[in-house]
Amino acid sequence: MKLVIATRNAHKLEEIRAIFDFQSLEVCTAFDFPDIPDVVEDGETLEANAIKKAVTLAKATGCWTLADDSGLEVAALGGAPGVYSARYAGEHCNYADNNAKLLDELSGKENRSACFRTVIALSDPEGNVQTLDGSCPGTIIEALRGSNGFGYDPLFIPTGYTETFAQLDSEIKNRISHRANALQKAHDEWSSLLGSMGGMT
């Protein structure tokens, strides 16, 4: 049986594959279905976007589909950028633009606590969907550090560590991150369901 990962973000896909053991399932991605248009992530919550991506691709491909949406929630900014994390600096922005805007918005603010959050949705081909979430608290620093990872990783130090996500070894990040927490829950709660599809144990 095929399981579709609903993303065309190569960095995110690499993390998911590194964290989650799909064993005997045949894993495909949105890259394998080039005729399916990108899903417009216009939901007002991470949950809404994750569900929309999972259901849309599940119905379009006829396969079970796993999707996620993640965001950085910064306390001093009222939870922003949140659901708009990927496009914080505008629709056609890049990681550098988003990081620059975040630093600008936090300039002069003492409270730099933040939390990364991920919501994962799993949909069957009929659009029946269930969700799980994971989080990772931390702090936003005042200058970029590190060259690993992507997104806001060079600015985020997880609680209990002294290095940013972009400085930590990927093995460590993939054990403690918001996405890792959500995927671990998915493994614990959905293994029997996925196992019935592809023999996963």
Which amino acids are annotated catalytic?
69
Reported as type and span, the H/E element at residue 189 is helix 178-198
Taking CB atoms within 8 Å and a gap of at least 24, the contacts of 196-201 are 197/1, 197/3, 197/25, 197/64, 198/1, 198/3, 198/22, 198/23, 198/24, 198/25, 198/26, 199/23, 199/24, 200/22, 200/23, 200/24, 200/25, 201/23
Give the Cα separation of 93 and 73 in Å (integer). 19
